[in-house]
Amino acid sequence: MSKIKLPTWFVLILPAILILVAVVLIPLLLSLYSSFTPYRLTRPDSLYKWIGTYNYEKAAKSWVFWSAFGRTVLLLTIALNLEMLLGLGLALLVSRVTRGQRALRTVMMFPMMFSPILVGFQFKFIFNDNVGLVNNALQSLGLTTAAIPWLVDQKLAMFSIIFAEVWSSTSVFAILILAGLFAIPKDPLEAAKVDGCTPWQTFRHITLPFLMPFIYIALAIRSLDVARAYDIVNIMTNGGPARRTELLWTLIGRTGYVDAKMGYANAMGYVSIFMAIFFTIFFFKKLSAARAELGMGG
């Protein structure tokens, strides 16, 4: 006979809620408030002045902001899709290997062990136009005599950043999809073989639908985690040169911490949060739909 007045589920969830409120919600409210002020780090008293939606209007009218926004969405779309496809391919390849699975899986997860700033430094070094690995290799192999400016040219810089980002996160997709592949029940697969389906048909109609929930989970996880890309880009190009690789986060980071215009930076930050929320809800809905389709309760 329980004498506790609070329902059990509430007590169980309470620690989670408490810690998240303390660490995330309260600071978020603080920064939401500051986005309505002209808050500058170097003049703390500016926090108490209310200027309404000035910062949001300024962001809305700023070409720099919108081009960073657009570039960020583009980067995310390309990166997420690439990671999904490559992760899928990688998982399929690894699942067929019989010997040394465990070692192979560890190697596959290699990039996950790298801190994002380490990834940033690594690729900044590798793509360096003067002493970087890529250019040195290309020149040694005689494929080019020019020093290719990987981190300067408009398209090449975006490519380098996407490459770094994809390198860093494809493993997450791969491991989740691999788990999915192991979970697929054998019977439908064997039945398909007996019935004479080609491998492609088997894949398309049986394997893939089973994998969809895993894929959506991975997508949802990645969208949540996507701000990790900030560290990578910050180190590789910091949004430059000439704002060619400016993403929302590098813009926010610089405006807030170097220019000390925190109020404005927070306003921009909220737009980025809404974007992340949108992506997450989008994928979550898809996940629920896929689960329902497969008959799994949710």
Partner 1 sequence: MAMDINRQHRFKTRIGAALRHITLFIAMSIICIPGLWIVLNSFRPTVDIMAKPPVWVPRGLNLDNYRAMFGGAGEGGVPVVQYFTNSLIISVTSTVIAILIGMAGGYAFARYRFRGKSAIFIGLLLTRAVPGVALSLPLFIVMAKTGLIDTHVGLIMVYVAMNVPFTIWLIDGFFRQVPPDLAEAAEIDGCTRWQAFWKVEFPVAKSGVASAGIFAFLTSWNEYALASQLTRSTFSKTMPVGLRDFTSEFTINWGGMCALAVLMIIPALILTFLVQKHLIAGLTFGGVKG
Partner 2 sequence: MKNPLKSLLAVTTCLSMGAVLPAAAGEFDGMTVEAKLIGGQQYEGLYGRIGEWEASTGATVKIVSKKNHFELDKEFKSDLAAGTTSWCVGSNHSSFAPQYPSLYTDLTPFMDSGEVAGFVPAMISASTVAGKLVMLPRAQFDVSVLYYQKSLYEDDAKKAAFKTEYGYDLAPPATLDQFKDQAIFFADPPNFYGTQYAGKDEGASGRFYEMVVANGGKMFNDDWTPGFNSDAGKEALGWFVDLYKAGAVPPGTTSYLWDELGAGFASGTIALNLDWPGWSGYFNDPESSKAAGDVGLVVQPMGSAGIHTGWSGHHGFSVTEKCPTPEAAASLVAFLTSEASQIAESAGGSLPTRTAVWEHVVKAAEGDEFRSQALNVFKEGATHAFPVPKTPYWIEASNLIYPELQAAILGDKTVDQALQDAADAVDEMMQENGVY
Main-chain phi, psi angles of 29, to 5 degrees: -65, -40
Using the rule CB under 8 A, which residue among 73, 78, 82, 121 binds partner 1?
121
Taking every pair of Cα atoms in the chain, the longest distance, rounded to a whole number of angstroms, is 81
Minimum gap (Å) between residue 249 Cβ and partner 1: 6
DSSP 40: B
Close Cβ partners of 80 (under 8 Å, ≥ 6 residues apart): 219, 222, 223
Using the rule CB under 8 A, which residue among 16, 99, 145, 182 binds partner 2?
145
**Among residues 110 and 154, whose Cβ is nearest to partner 1?**
110
Minimum gap (Å) between residue 74 Cβ and partner 2: 18
Closest CA relative to residue 239, chosen from 225, 255, 223? 255
Minimum gap (Å) between residue 228 Cβ and partner 1: 8
Report how far apart the first and last C-alpha atoms of the chain are (Å, whole number): 30
Site string for partner 1, 132-161 (x = CB under 8 A): -x--x--xx---------------------
Contact flag: residue 98 with partner 2 (CB under 8 A): no
Q: What's 226-254 look like in SS3?
A: CCHHHHHHHHHCCCCCCCCCCCHHHHHHH
Residue 152 binds which one of partner 1, partner 2, none, with CB within 5 to 8 A depending on kind?
partner 2
- Rounded distance between C-alpha atoms, residue 89 and residue 33, angstroms: 46
Contact flag: residue 228 with partner 2 (CB under 8 A): no
Q: List the interface residues with partner 1, window 158-187 (CB under 8 A).
A: 167, 171, 175-176, 178-180, 182-183
Using the rule CB under 8 A, which residue among 190, 225, 259, 293 binds partner 2?
259
Q: List the interface residues with partner 1, window 187-226 (CB under 8 A).
A: 213-214, 217, 220-221, 223-225
Site string for partner 1, 2-41 (x = CB under 8 A): -----xxxx-xx-xxx-xx-xxxxxxx-xx--x------x
* 55 burial level (CB within 10 Å; 0-12, 13-18, 19+): buried
Minimum gap (Å) between residue 77 Cβ and partner 1: 17
Contact flag: residue 42 with partner 2 (CB under 8 A): yes
Q: What's 68-128 look like in SS3?
A: HHHHHHHHHHHHHHHHHHHHHHHHHHHHHCCCCHHHHHHHHCHHHHCCHHHHHHHHHHHCC
Q: How many residues bind partner 2 (CB under 8 A)?
A: 30
Q: List the interface residues with partner 1, window 39-98 (CB under 8 A).
A: 41, 86, 89-90, 93-94, 96-97
The token duo for 92 is 């399929």
Contact flag: residue 147 with partner 2 (CB under 8 A): yes
Residue 57 binds which one of partner 2, partner 1, none, with CB within 5 to 8 A depending on kind?
none
Query: 271 and 69 in contact (C-beta within 8 Å)?
Result: yes
Binding site for partner 2 (CB under 8 A): 41-44, 128-131, 139, 145-147, 149, 151-152, 154, 237-238, 240-244, 254, 257-262
